[in-house]
Structure 1
Amino acid sequence: MFVCLCNGITSQAVADAVAAGATTCNQVAAACGAGEECGRCRRTVRAIISATGRVSSG
């Protein structure tokens, strides 16, 4: 499923970024590009991060 339509980023790409250590939307954006443009996907990106239990404490 596409998460970021601006950059054509899939949920798998976001999950891979989280698995590689990204714990914030900004870190995911730096890793794969999701959320860099309009920001509409950041809610979904946060949900994917939360689902992994790797949410940043700060």
Structure 2
Amino acid sequence: MFVCLCHGITSHVVSECVANGARTSKQIAEACGAGGDCGRCRRTLRAIIEAHFEADNSAHTAASR
């Protein structure tokens, strides 16, 4: 799914940026350009970041049981 229409960035690319250490929409913009122009996708970028950490926390919780 395209997340940033200004740069043609997909959710897969954004997810890779988050997996590689991006923790804010500004860091994602620096890494791949998404959210760097008009900013309409920043809410979606933040949602992808949150989803990544929710999934990561769920995996850690399940592993500790």
Provide the TM-score with structure 1 as the length reference.
0.90
Gaps of 5+ in 2: 55-65
- Residue 38 of structure 2 corresponds to 38
Gaps of 5+ in 1: none
Shift of 1:43: 0.3
Counterpart secondary structure, 2:39: coil
Larger Rg: 2
Runs of 4+ in 1 over 4 A off after TM superposition: none
RMSD (Å), alpha carbons: 1.1
Higher relative CO (Cα under 8 Å, sequence separation at least 6) belongs to 1
- 1:1-58 paired onto structure 2 within 5 Å: 1-53=1-53
- Residue 58 of structure 2 corresponds to none
Q: Distance in 2 between matches of 1:2 and 1:32?
A: 13
Q: Distance in 2 between matches of 1:37 and 1:47?
A: 18
Q: Distance in 2 between matches of 1:15 and 1:29?
A: 12
Provide the TM-score with structure 2 as the length reference.
0.80
Aligned length: 54
Over the matched positions of the two proteins, sequence identity in percent amounts to 65
User: Higher helix share goes to which structure?
Assistant: 2
